[in-house]
Chain A
Amino acid sequence: MSADNPFSQETFADSLKLPYPLLSDFPDRKVIRVYGVLNEQTMTAIRTFFLIDPQGMIRKKWILANPATDVVYSPTLLKDIEQIVNTR
């Protein structure tokens, strides 16, 4: 989910051949604000991962303070996803 318009997201997804859908929170940015990750200066989303379990509970979140240098590696995400799946 991002604060970009759907037209922009379509081109972005096409360029990267993304196999999953992108959601647009443009122009209101309501969801981004509710999740507490709106950068009020740029009106864009702070790069964040939320891991939500099948019951709808947020089990984990990673906020990337500096997206240019901070990275959340796939194994980190996978480890937490597996933990949720295995405790069901």
Chain B
Amino acid sequence: MGNRVRQRIAGVVITVWTILGAPELSRAEIPTLLQKLNLTGYPRVTKPPEFNGRAADGRTISLASLQDQVVLLNFWATWCQECRPEMPLFEQLHRKFAGQGLAVLGINAREGISAIQKYVKELGLTFPLVLDPRGEINAAYGVIGLPATFLVGRDGRAVARAVGPRDWNSKEAFEIIRALLSEPKQR
């Protein structure tokens, strides 16, 4: 095969990849992908705790209301220094994948709405931030250090957790999100 033909094939593959995104990945590949971002996976039968909370914009959001979507739950606070660099990354994930079925949610830890609204404005965040004034959602998820992030599949199962920060704007993170988005909707 000549070099020109090879280059043409490579060009077509890259173009298709760019337009359509990565091809659908099988469920068996997800544990491998999780390891690349140092995420801890859950057994397939694990259900995340249900919650119902009010977001900073006044909406009421529950986990059940996000049925059929891939959910990224990030626990954070305005005083948390390691949380701050992650927030713009979650905003990018929200903008990039919301249309494909990713719901990015921030769960605040015991702060008042005015502190949260100031932070939202400063960082230009548009994804929903749920208030947890009594720390009940934080307790249900066992969060004792921030940040902590959980992924939930379209079928409602807990997929993985990250205790501490990760690079959510990385090739590895995109691969995980794409793999979860390619799964069928069934709860």
Contact = CB atoms under 8 A, between A and B. Distances in A.
B163 A5 contact: no
B174 interface: no
A9 B144 CA distance: 10
Contact of A8 (B40, B46, B47, B141): B141
Interface stretch (A10-18, A45-53, A54-62, A74-82): A10-18
Contacts of A8: 49, 139-142
B141 A7 contact: yes
A25 interface: no
B83 to A, nearest CB: 15
A5 B49 contact: yes
Given A12-B144, A15-B163, A7 B49 contact: yes
B140 A5 contact: yes
A19 B7 CA distance: 53
Contacts of A11: 141-144, 148, 161, 163
Interface residues of A, number: 11
Interface in B45-84: 46-49
Contacts of B148: 11, 15
A86 B48 CA distance: 45
B158 interface: yes
A9 B42 CA distance: 13
Contacts of A12: 142, 144
B124 interface: no
Contacts of B163: 11, 14-15
Contacts of A10: 142, 161
B85 interface: no
Nearest to B143: A11
A55 B183 CA distance: 52
A7 B161 CA distance: 11
A14 B40 contact: yes
Given A5-B140, A8-B140, A15 B46 contact: no
A4 B48 contact: no
Given A7-B47, A15-B142, A15-B145, 16 more contacts: A4-B139, A5-B49, A5-B140, A7-B46, A7-B48, A7-B142, A7-B158, A8-B141, A8-B142, A10-B161, A11-B141, A11-B163, A12-B142, A14-B40, A15-B143, A15-B144
